Amino acid sequence: EMAARVSNRLFSHKLNEVPVHLQTPTFALKWCEEIKKPPAVPIIVNLSIDSKGFYLICVNRVKKEVECFDLALIHDTRTGSQVSLPQGGVEYFDQNHIGLLDVPVTSKWLTIYYGNTFVASELRIVHFYFESPSLAREWTEKLFQLGHNQILRNLSSLDCLEKIHSKIIHGLIDLDKRKIPVRNLVQFLCKNNRDSSKVREIHQRLESLKLNIIDSTIDPNEFTFNKFFSLYMNLIQCHEIEKLFNAIGGIDCQYLNVENVKVFLKKQKETLNDATEMDLYEIKANDVIKKYSEHDEYEREKGMSNESFLRYLLSFDNLIVDPKKFDLCMNMDKPLAHYFISSSHNTYLTGYQWTGRSSIEMYRQVLLTGCRCIELDVLDSEKKSDEPEIKHKNTPVKPVLFIEVIVAIKEYAFKVTPYPLVLSIENHCSAKTQAKMAQYFVDVFGKNLITEPLKTHPCDGNYPLPSPNDLKYKILIKNKKISTNSPSPVSNNNNHQIGNQTPDAISATTSSDTSSDIGKLRCHQQLLNASPRHCFLNNDPDELAECTDVNEKNSSENPPSDGDTICESKATKAMSDLVHYLVPVSFKSFAKAEQLSKSFEMSSFSEDRALSLIREQAKEFVAYNQRQISRIYPRGTRLESSNYNPYMYWLVGCQMCALNYQTLGKTKHTNL
């Protein structure tokens, strides 16, 4: 049993398995991505996927050109009702009577969102039209499945070389001759940098491979991966690998025997020197030699050559990170507070906080990354209707309709992961609009929405939060909740009366109140002046403390750029009834939170305030996060949508580090 366990440590996960019929060319029409002058005419293409599942190969049958789409860069694939036809598409199909008599055009359509960014406006949108709806569905589903393979997105160096070889074979070929021009290969390896010495060296190394080069072309069937790997070794000249190889086997060693490999593996693992361990490593050494020398049966009998040894070093079996960790490997039955939750800040924005655009597509793209907490800043309609809208409050950012956003969320909430999705609501709506919001949530999300606590996990201080497995395929609302002792909000008429008073008048009418009460009224006065119809007078001092973070100071010259620092509307019963397990409260102190011990309450902190708490009360912060959830958001001065480093907050267990997904960079990639 122990021997089998060690032997199985060799990586056995498979890359994409591509059905044979998808490896053969399939007829399709490709729509032009840049349409300048309609009417546009689609391009006749053949689509296929290489046998290793690295690329979607698109062959232009008219121009005899090949484009290889990296499957790992496919964010999304859509067909049917989710498709938006490109400019000129409807006119073209109407004029040519396509899709009118049988089925809608969109059912035969495939749209691919492609690129290395999450911002929809920066992604390539590639359109294909197939002969039948079944073909469109199959390609849509299969490309999404292959593209989101975690192994494909975390390749070993050896697999990266196989990927490069696949692109050479399929992307550099002359379609008329069915050969690879040597000139194309040289340009590819030199990255179009015409260095004469490099060109000469490549030609020399190609000659040493003893390829049958005719008319300066190479037969792709002859240029196998083994030939390419030999070319790679000769070009990079791994002197450090040669030194290591000789250190293991001895000077002028040609092959490593089982004993050499066994000692090397043992030294790498630093295990105890006992007979049982050595026997196990002998079994693994034999497995390593067999696996990485299989390209040459004759050489395998002699042992492990320099080339085979390099293959092993570049493989999954020699990764620092165990490849099995790319799959779900955690126990998902712990309370929700025991997990880091990938979180987005101002999810709707495609650019800067002040001048960016709101986009429904951002919600789709962010959810496709596996993000489990997205933010919705909801306001009353600018057109004075009762339709809620999403935008950045007090900025020129144009809104998007709330209903369209949550429909998109419904479609993509669990497309890449079954674990619970949190909607962090920043609520600036009137009571009438909040009622409509709540109804939309119930109608659109249906059974996926948590509308009451689970029977096994009541919202009680004596119970921990439910686990991710308990909440699979569930959507949780994070929104202010009415407290049992909170007074009712004043009417809209009273709001306007207060809004029309000057600060001096407010002070005069409240001369008998305490200074803190005057401060509360001044806060509401400023907010009502900005937009009276958005607000309710909130007499709860605990909720008032959440209006502005103590570390965020906004001058009149710099309007608040982060919604977390602006007072929200008071929650209505309709919205309050949908809030369970994630009840936002004003943070008083760690001692107070421990005394209350309410796992279902959570607090949000600006990055600066959280960092200050980490410096002063790190142990208390850890204890807090073991029981309940904390959310960190960027400071208000990050107008360019830059990101803080979440690592500092993860160290004390902060679960939700909300980042700007539209801004790529080191800190953003740390979170992926």
Over residues 607-631, the pLDDT tens digits come to 999 999 999 999 999 999 999 999 9
pLDDT at 330: 84
Give the per-residue pLDDT at 502.
36
Three-state SS for 427? strand
Query: Locate tokens 């992604």: which residue?
Result: 123
Q: Is the dihedral of CA 425, 431, 433, 435 positive or negative?
A: positive
Mean pLDDT of the 151-170 span:
93
* Res 131 pLDDT > 50: yes
Q: Residue 159 CB: number of other CB atoms within 10 A?
A: 18
Q: Which residues are catalytic?
A: 345, 392
Q: What is the chain's mean pLDDT, rounded?
A: 81
Compute the distance between CA of residue 58 and CA of residue 40 in angstroms, rounded to an integer.
19
CA 174, CA 181: separation in Å to the nearest integer?
A: 7
In DSSP terms, 256 is beta-bridged to 304
- Mapped onto helix, strand or coil, the DSSP state of residue 326 is helix
pLDDT of the residue at 524 = 37
List the structure tokens of 543: 């909720």
Give the three-state DSSP class for 397.
coil
Note the pLDDT tens digit of each residue in 454-508: 999 998 878 999 999 999 999 999 999 987 654 444 333 333 333 333 333 333 3
Strands 389-390 and 217-218: unpaired
Give 302's pLDDT tier (boundaries 50, 70, 90).
confident
> When comparing pLDDT for 390 and 102, which is higher?
390
Q: What is the pLDDT at residue 161?
A: 96
The pLDDT > 70 percentage for the chain reads 79
| pLDDT value of position 134 | 94
Give the closest residue to 480 by CA, choosing from 438, 436, 449.
438
Query: Considering the entire predicted model, what is its pTM?
Result: 0.80
Look at residue 572 in the predicted model and tell me its pLDDT: 86
Cβ atoms of 370 and 416 within 8 Å: the answer is yes
Residue 171 has pLDDT above 50, yes or no: yes
Beta bridge partners of 425: 376
Nearest alpha-carbon partner for 452 in 477, 486, 489: 477
Give the max Cα distance, the chain.
Answer: 100
